[in-house]
Chain A
């Protein structure tokens, strides 16, 4: 037993609301308002975790986001969550937590053998060994290394919780609700601006709780409550439990609100966390500062803690972190903390200060309270492995850095360490220049802003309360002024009594090693002072090399307590100053953020929107298996009882060849092109001519990219002199529209054309087969689709039932076929009307597989052939390209590689041994050899009664009739094939011209 609950005090806890919780299966008790860390400390728990590399026993070291040691696994089952900082986890009834990175138990961890072997495991040891005879040695060793590494365990179960996203817009965002942030928000809000105040903690106030000052005669807690009330009155949005983790370009900040992490479970319909994208005109960074530890032998023993944390646990939670406490400091914070704790009833054994002298007032008060003070002294070592049992206090010469005589070796169960303050410059650095070194603080303060922010308070190096309050108010006023706000009523600064002054450190951060014990700089990653020296010795001297070679600052705590000490040590080793060594770059996130919160709702089924045609439900009701086509869903085939996919598509394709079928093509991209220059525009876009297309006719066209490669194909229907309806492939609907808009707006602004996407204005279906005309005519209440009125490529208008339809006689299948367009909401009615009219002809719908079969039989291309590398000539459409006009890509098509005779060109393949050809096969000579080309599309052709394919074959145009193999080495398959013309069926097109 070590820590305990003090009989009184604790501004955050509710003494009449006890909670029970479990840690490593053990039932414990805490209070509402506790963190898991404070509850564990109150329960006398010292050993809480194990470190990353050496599995050293560790206890709670902080009371905030910087916690490096007390990481736990929280919750169970699918909500299991590793690496949670016990100092940030609010206690709730029934909380379950477990220690991590230990086996079999926290107290007895087999992996602690690493600590015994630590002389081997110096920084970068793995680069020097495990090579043996090569890859096999490394792969063998790596398995063990991987198991030993990592911290907590994750789960493979899907996260059951929900995350939400919102945007917030404000004039002034204040980050941090400590004294500076509260004043900044007050000042900004006084001008009537929209102000948001976000703080990562459950309760606003920051370090004010520990300062000990009274403000306007109020206690800190009362003053904070009063300020919050005032802020609310001024309409400030106060966001507790909200961590602003990232500062992006354009004054966009990312924040995560922990909505339900402090509850056993989120309420029904409540998200676990909410991501906020905050758009602020000005930002005030009042992000505070984090206390630094000191570097000395055994400084990681459970029971060694930051002084500010020892005080915070007492002030906020009414917890004494030990029964016998020693304080070790290089600044006034040590003595102050000791005095404050003593006043709260915590037993202080001694104050050890590196400095030869401390302010006389502090020394006198310590004396008056009977607290022993050792100046010019250090804690040279600690005793106790799983719990601190005592410290060795020795004299110290600050000038030479040498240890002096033994002074005392008191027993103690807590050691509070105060090494000075590190401003939290994370956000400022993300959105500004490199941080600047401040000699007084012996740390870095924000550099110059790139975005519209002002830093204030401890974050800007203002360590005393008066400066924080004034700095906050000034920053708030400046932000308001920058937003153009008039003079508001200036909030008065509170009258302070008993405020602490700035705690500037004496510039000594480390104590020489004693007895070979390790001196930790980065606690979580077990990086020691020796590792930093080794890094320097081996030439890894730049601060980035130091980080990467030793992994310093790369643990889950991101070096919040270690980076500045490490820079000081490296600076000394290199004979440079700390600013010459510099910092690594700060990047988002400031503290680790749940990945689910950043994903929000756009995951799982909602990862992407799902687009459905108006006939979607009909398809499902009639046996269709749907498949994704981009974000659209399309029927693959309509299955009848007992049918396989092949049965279904063969039946459907046969039906089209022998009778009539109907296919939903609503997903085609559709673009309305209007204007006096519409024809000229399309003439430039398409490789073939469109200028002379008569009104009332449609034409197939192919567009190229500027580099002469095929981009998209489709049809354009000339509805009027100045109006075309352009269709695109499903996949390219968006890109073709953007392409058109680019040329119209940027390249050829003189063209009088406007384009509008009408993809979901029109439902579309194609009726195909020799009975198509008969069925369509029967369905038409108005309109004529006879060969005379609507010849091949003709357009007709009509009505089906009450719905107007637009018809173009186009064929993708090679059969007589019509595309029927109608208003999107009428799609289902028109679809059903066509099916009904086709009953005598035994019409049925067909899906993508049959569509594929029909087009392969005809040698028509799709995206599989237009794969972004092929030319018109490659697919046999070279003759289509106009020689008489320039078009996009025309000048590029005669470049050497485009006319290389060895280019793969499209051919047909017929399986000669009756075996199916697999898509993705490569063509080789019979018996094998190098790839001569590849197969793009395959089918069983009911019309040819053969397995056929489309393929690209090097120099293929002259190789029709050759016997090759379609090789599929992935499955050890080879199919004998004969090369043919890619148009297998009805090459003269007579069937669609009937």
Chain B
């Protein structure tokens, strides 16, 4: 792998950048591997990377039906945080946070992980109590969290509506200073490049069309580029999980696909430092390094695979953002897109062996997939390599729903649109 550094950049600048090599090889699929990962998004690529790095499994392939990183890794609002209340969640996401903190060096790829803090605003005393419960839960697990009052918040976020006329006045907030944002595409590219350097084959434009079986056991896949065999097949295709698993004969899952819209304003000079969320609705906003305000709200709340949403949600999100930050009203919305979320029945993911022998499932990420990318791959790699979950992902089973052991961070119940 060509080493990236200021020096290598300088050297290449002198030669007109003519000697840079492709970030990853355009591999041709081989007929057999030790493991197949279906899905060339963030989770699939990080799984491949950690399989190679942590478990020495390098004869593996990542299959991507379109272009690498074409799913939600490149469609999210780039927020990274571990400010969860339920211990099963905050332990997992904090492990992810720790991996994020070393990721650029580990991958030799600057993923621009910017720890600028995530602030959740509270608008009623009861909401602040809820945030305190969450913040204390984090602190007891060794995660950073601070409870802020209105004056501290005013100093931290200029431009917030702290006036008496705000419909839902800000009474406090919960800050996770180590949380922040990262450059989403770079995460996919960085993992792809680092996995490739360890010998992993990454095959784009290769769609899985079926599974090869010996009895119950999955022993490979058929693709638009031929049959590929492997004793282990991991599926990490959030957004399309139901379709891919249906090819293996699993026709029903605790997942619905929903569209989540994201928004970017025109670029302006630095105007919003950290990530802020509005507690009187569902809104999260930050300013990218390029200067655009990046924000999002609720899913459209109907099943969708369309990667685009409708006007009512657009209007509502704009109401929220201007209610919270009234100066945003004069800025312009520049871009909008949609990503297809695997909305699970409790708002938490599935990283588990099964549901068939030889098959491993990584799915159900709801809104949480981007920040989970490192830990998801790390845990999934462990699960695939050792055929059993790591304690960090042990709670995220597929059968937890039937057992009544839902991990319901929002307490919203078995209604995917509510998570």
* Contact indicator per residue, chain B 311-334, by CB within 8 Å of chain A (1) or not (0): 100111011111100111111111
User: Is the beta-carbon distance between B5 and A538 smaller than 8 angstroms?
Assistant: no
Contact of B411 with A by CB under 8 A = yes
- Complex contacts, B291 vs chain A, CB 8 Å: 146, 149-151
- Among B22-30, B46-54, B368-376, the stretch that binds chain A is B22-30
| Given the contacts A138-B114, A538-B23, A931-B140, A554 and B335 also touching, CB distance less than 8 Å | yes
A592 in contact with B332 (CB, 8 Å): yes
Please give the distance in Å from A752's CB to the nearest CB on chain B.
28
CA A935 to CA B334, docked complex, whole Å? 44
Interface size class of B (residues with CB under 8 A): 35 or more
Is the CB of B168 closer than 8 A to any CB of chain A?
A: yes
Does any Cβ of B come within 8 Å of A376's Cβ? no
| Cβ proximity bits B262-294 to A, threshold 8 Å, 1 near / 0 not | 000111111100000000110000010111000
Q: Please tell me if the beta carbons of B104 and A610 are within 8 angstroms of each other in the complex.
A: no
Contact call A129/B124, Cβ cutoff below 8 A: no
Q: Are B167 and A154 in contact (CB under 8 A)?
A: no
Q: In the complex the two chains form, what is the Cα distance from A344 to B290 in whole Å?
A: 43
A134 at the interface (CB under 8 A from B): yes
Q: Give Cα distance in the complex from A936 to B315, angstroms.
A: 35
Residue B137, interface by CB 8 Å: yes
B87 in the interface (beta carbon within 8 A): yes
Contact of A537 among B20, B311, B404 (CB under 8 A): B20
Cβ–Cβ contact A128 & B4, under 8 A: yes
Chain B residues with CB under 8 A of A711: 413
Which of A82, A608, A920 is in CB contact (< 8 Å) with B268? A82
- A922:B137 contact, CB within 8 angstroms: yes
Query: Would you call B191 an interface residue if the criterion is a C-beta within 8 Å of the partner chain's C-beta atoms?
Result: no
Interface residues of B in 97-122 (CB under 8 A from A): 101-102, 104-105, 108-115
Question: In the complex, A146 Cα to B133 Cα: how many Å?
Answer: 34
* A150-B267, A248-B311 known; A922+B17 contact, CB < 8 A: no
Q: Which residues of A contact B126 (CB under 8 A)?
A: 863-864
Does the CB pair A129–B110 fall under 8 Å? yes
- The answer to whether A897 and B5 touch across the interface, beta carbons within 8 angstroms, is no
A711–B413 alpha-carbon span in the complex (Å) = 9
- Interface pair B332/A594, CB less than 8 Å apart: yes
Interchain Cβ contacts within 8 Å, total number: 346
Is B387 an interface position by the 8 A CB rule? no
CB-contacts of A119-177 with B (<8 A)? 119-120, 122, 125-131, 133-135, 138-139, 142, 145-147, 149-159, 161, 163, 165
Given the interface contacts A606-B167, A920-B136, does A540 sit within 8 Å of B20 by beta carbon?
Answer: no
Q: Which of A154, A628, A930 contacts B331 (CB 8 A)?
A: A154
A895→B403 contact, CB < 8 A: yes
For residue A81, CB closer than 8 A to chain B, the reply is: yes
How does the 8 Å CB contact mask read for A970-988 relative to B, with 1 for contact and 0 for none?
1100000000000000000
A131 touching B105 by the CB < 8 A rule?
yes
A888 CB-CB contact with B under 8 Å: no
A268 within 8 A of B: no
With A and B bound together, what is the CA distance between A161 and B147 in angstroms?
Answer: 34
B311 pairs with A595, CB closer than 8 A: no
CB-nearest residue of chain A relative to B128?
A920
Q: What residues of chain B lie closer than 8 Å to A151, measured between beta carbons?
A: 266-269, 291
Determine whether the beta carbon of B167 is less than 8 Å from that of A605. Answer: yes
- One of A366-374, A480-488, A596-604 at the interface: A596-604
**Which B residues from 13 to 39 make CB contacts under 8 A with A?**
13-14, 16-18, 20-24, 26
Query: At the interface with chain B, which of A305-313, A455-463, A700-708?
Result: A700-708
CA distance A919 to B122 in the complex (A): 14
Cα of A538 to Cα of B23 in the assembled complex, Å:
5
Shortest distance from the beta carbon of B112 to any chain A beta carbon, whole Å: 7
Q: Considering the chains assembled together, what is the distance between the CA atoms of A868 and B140 in angstroms?
A: 23
* Interchain CB contact under 8 A, A598 and B314: yes
Give which listed residue, A80, A246, A540, A610, contacts B330 with CB less than 8 A. A80
With an 8 A cutoff between CB atoms, is A789 at the interface? no
A708 to B403, CA, bound (A): 12
Task: Name the distance in Å between A595's Cβ and chain B's nearest Cβ.
Answer: 5
- A968 pairs with B136, CB closer than 8 A: yes
Question: Given A83-B266, A604-B165, A627-B125, do A589 and B289 touch, yes or no (CB 8 Å)?
Answer: no
CA distance A83 to B126 in the complex (A): 41
Which chain A residues border B405 with CB–CB below 8 Å? 896-897
Contacting chain A: which of B182-190, B222-230, B238-246?
Answer: B182-190
B-facing mask of A539-583, CB < 8 A → 1, else 0? 110101100110100111010000000000000000000000000
Nearest neighbor of A249 in chain B, beta-carbon distance: B310
Q: Is A259 an interface residue (CB 8 A)?
A: no
Asked if A603 contacts B323 (CB within 8 A), the reply is: yes
Closest approach, in angstroms, between the C-beta of A964 and any C-beta of chain B? Answer: 14
Let me know if B6 and A149 touch, CB within 8 A. no
Complex alpha-carbon distance, A922 and B138, angstroms: 11
Q: Is B315 within 8 A of A598, CB to CB?
A: yes
- Interface size class of chain A, counting residues whose CB lies under 8 Å from the partner chain: 35 or more
Q: How far is the CA of A275 from the CA of B333 in the complex (A)?
A: 13
Contacts of B9 in A (CB 8 A): 120, 125, 128-129
A810 within 8 A of B: no
Is B167 in contact with A600, judged by CB distance below 8 angstroms?
no
**Cβ–Cβ contact A556 & B266, under 8 A:** yes
Closest to A601 in B: B319
Whole-angstrom distance between the alpha carbons of A9 and B267 in the complex?
Answer: 37
Knowing A600-B319, A924-B140, A930-B140, the reply to whether A589 touches B336 (Cβ < 8 A) is yes
A159 touches B67 (CB 8 A): no
Partner of B280, one of A607, A707, A897: A607
What's the minimum C-beta distance from A283 to chain B, rounded to whole angstroms? 15
**A155 and B327 contact, CB distance less than 8 A:** yes
Given A128-B4, A128-B110, A604-B161, check contact A122 B17 (CB 8 Å): yes
| Contact for A604 among B13, B104, B167, B327, CB less than 8 A | B167
On chain B, the residues within 8 Å of A83 by CB distance are 266-268, 332
Whole-angstrom distance between the Cβ of B347 and the nearest chain A Cβ? 10
Known contacts: A142-B112, A867-B411, A931-B87. The answer to whether A131 contacts B5 by CB under 8 A is yes
Decide if A971 touches B330 in the complex (CB within 8 Å). no
Chain B neighbourhood of A847, CB < 8 A: none
Mask: chain B, 150-193; 1 = CB below 8 Å from A; 0 = not: 00000000110100011110000000000000010110011000
Contact yes or no, A920 B132, CB < 8 A? yes
- Interface presence of B365 (CB below 8 A): no
A142–B290 CA distance with the chains assembled, in angstroms: 11
A599 touches B319 (CB 8 A): yes
Contact (Cβ within 8 A) A145 B289: yes
- Asked if B146 CB lies within 8 Å of chain A CBs, one says yes
**B268 close to A150 (CB less than 8 A):** yes
Are A897 and B404 touching (Cβ within 8 A)? yes
B413 touches A594 (CB 8 A): no
Contact B14 A138 (CB under 8 A): no
A782 close to chain B: CB less than 8 A: no
| Interchain nearest-CB distance for B339 vs A (Å) | 12
Given A551-B290, A868-B408; A81-B4 close (CB under 8 Å): no
A934 interface contact, C-beta 8 A: yes
Among B109, B124, B323: residue with most chain A CB under 10 A: B323
* CB <8 Å contact, B112 and A126: yes
Q: A152-B268, A589-B333 are in contact. Are A600 and B410 (CB under 8 A)?
A: no
Q: In the assembly, what is the distance between CA of A275 and CA of B312, in Å?
A: 13
Q: How far is the CA of A968 from the CA of B145 in the complex (A)?
A: 12
Contact of B311 among A119, A277, A607, A629 (CB under 8 A): A277
Q: A154-B271, A607-B168, A896-B404 are in contact. Are A919 and B129 (CB under 8 A)?
A: yes
C-alpha gap A28/B78 in the complex (Å):
44
Within the complex, what minimum Cβ distance (angstroms) separates B369 from chain A? 18
27 A-B contacts (beta carbon < 8 Å): A82-B266, A119-B17, A126-B110, A128-B110, A131-B104, A134-B101, A135-B113, A152-B268, A154-B331, A158-B159, A163-B329, A246-B314, A248-B310, A248-B311, A537-B20, A544-B70, A548-B185, A551-B290, A556-B332, A595-B318, A595-B321, A596-B328, A599-B319, A604-B322, A864-B129, A895-B404, A897-B403
What 9 pairs across the A-B complex have the smallest Cβ distances? A868-B411, A920-B132, A150-B291, A596-B329, A539-B22, A895-B404, A158-B326, A592-B332, A159-B329
